[in-house]
A and B are shown apart, each in its own frame.
Chain A
Amino acid sequence: MGTGTPEGRQDTAAPAIELRGVSKAFGPVQANKNINIRVRKGTIHGIIGENGAGKSTLMSILYGFYRADAGEILIDGTPVQITDSLAAIRAGIGMVFQHFKLVENFTVLENVVLGAEGNFRLGPALAKARKLLADLAREYEMQVNPDALIEELSVGHQQRVEILKALYREANILILDEPTGVLTPAEADHLFRILKGLKEQGKTIVLITHKLREIMDVTDEVSVMRRGEMVATLKTSETSPTELAELMVGRKVLLRVDKTPAKPGAVVLQAEGLRVVDSHGVERLRGVDFNIRAGEILGIAGVAGNGQSELLEVIAGMIPGTGSLTMNGKPLDLSCRHDDARKRRLAGIGHVHEDRHRCGLVLNFMAWENVAFGHHHAPEYNRNRLLMDNDAIRRDARGKIERFDVRPDNCWLTAESFSGGNQQKIVLAREIERNPDLLLVGQPTRGVDIGAIEFIHQRLISLRDEGKAILLVSVELDEILSLSDRILVMFDGRIMGERLPDQTNARELGLLMAGMTGEAA
């Protein structure tokens, strides 16, 4: 498809990045199909697409983690071979990953020079980095203490270190992969100010995100990916969130959730003075009181890492805690010795873990094995005391796969080979169809494509309408606002306040999430 033909050039300057006909396949999966894109110098260029659309693969090719099967990469108009990340750095590309690549027990300064120490003696590199850090801090409001240990820094500051690392390597092109997932709204705003400052200095920024609002706020141009293909590149000022959403999904989507008012019944779970201390002795939950009733969705809003994960895990019996938890009137044992998670399932608590890759699924197990996972003691999955009934499990799995529209509908594939949304559907099918009295749901739509999000939201609401209680934890405020019947906001292991979704807004919740009480708003 005319990859080499010179097109009519309206830009005088060569684009900072130009990809021509880049393709990449993983086995039968075509992750990138003939991608053509030009990122103009000195702009912020957004790339959006559903999870599994191929954004991350494309960026990994650009950063030398994967080799493209076909196609060309041009940086500033010159073709380059990016064989590894070192070559990418040499080409002036810096990457800020979603999961930071920092050495936790090194200082900021040490992390910045790591891998670019220059020569045998560390001193000169450190001195140079210290000076540069001071300059950058002044220029872009990127104050960080160069001598602080990474583990002592907040996530927002750790991200700054990642950016500084790239700048120290003289990156002219900065790629950020889902940079705001872990930030508070205020931190995200600050990040965008930094990015705009960098742009004014002539740096080119590629922003990968699935948040339409961010695209609209900061980018100059935006490229939309769908199923491995680049479907459009638009000027941000000439498009709208609705148009982008449609391009991403390839059809019209409802960004709102339809639901009837809740009809709360009896209290299902009652928590009093719930505390969790982690293995480092840090108190993660500092006395939490709440209850959930049958037939309601209780949403927990908060920036990741403020105790929500611990809240779900202590209720699910995965970590020990103190205080009291009462389920259907019966107290639960919080000491968490052996297989408490199993006992909680028997007590009627289902758990969609927020990290389906690490916990919710065994990635190398086949889909049918994952359908039984955690419930493999259930009588219908077993022939007798000794042997499992694999045929029965597979039959059940086929039914679940059909009812939850998991694609491809093959229960012999490993969980790993499904896309994020379909993996999540497998977990949800498993947990919802057990008909739990209480369903714990962590980040139900993280890394899930928009089509599947609608489906998952509908399933959760219909479970609620059947009179089940749902505890929903999500960092997506929109999700919390649209699904919940009541909202609790958590900050630093405490509940900052309770709100009703129709009497609050993202701004108020955002302030609570940052630890400011309602009155200050």
Chain B
Amino acid sequence: MDVNPVLFVNHLSKAFGKRPVLENIDMEVQQGEILGLLGPSGAGKTTLVKAIIGLESPDSGNVSVLGTTMPNLEIIEQIGYMAQADALYHDLTALENLQFFARLYGLSKLQQKDRIEETAQLVNLSDQLHKPVAQYSGGMKRRLSICIALLNKPKLLILDEPTVGIDPVLRKSIWETFRQLKESGTSIIVTTHVMDEAEKCDRLAMIRNGKIIAIDSPKQLIRRSNTQTMEEAFLFYGGVEDEN
């Protein structure tokens, strides 16, 4: 066990009006770990992710990243974030989008060029950079968003449904990239509702109705529930939710 987790979520609760969206969330992410957040849409994954980055302020509890309580602008600089919606400027080219975000994170001209080349290669967009984003397909936009999230060499990478609409071959290579990043010490949080993708994470937090119903390595989750698949495991933990 590491002494200092990269991310530490402590008793986090959040309600929209009277409806609770997150209830008493506790979790941590170590350096070089990939944590998956698995759950159906509406479970609270995106709200949790936004609370981590500081876009949602919690009603109670707190989030700290790299030992600092969020939101904090210096720490935000160390986080790579990819939102669920593709936050891109459609009338600009992909390159212009990348340059914009690179400048925003204070990369020098030389760094900009290097990082853009490097990250574009990773998501296989190198030859398409001069096209306006308006002409991009859904999958290409997702890849461009991943690319933007990687620009600042983040210590913590937060990806909200990164592989929606991306074809399986490319999805595999993107997960390859995540593995490489993990090897180099980056911590990654990935939300997903795809069960087979969830199995690729080091640890998995199953989220349902704003609560973490189980958190462990994918193998352990399946073993402990005496089931064969992640889907069955999810049903199992969701079912015993009331007893906890």
Whether chains A and B associate is no
Residues of A within 8 A of B (CB): none
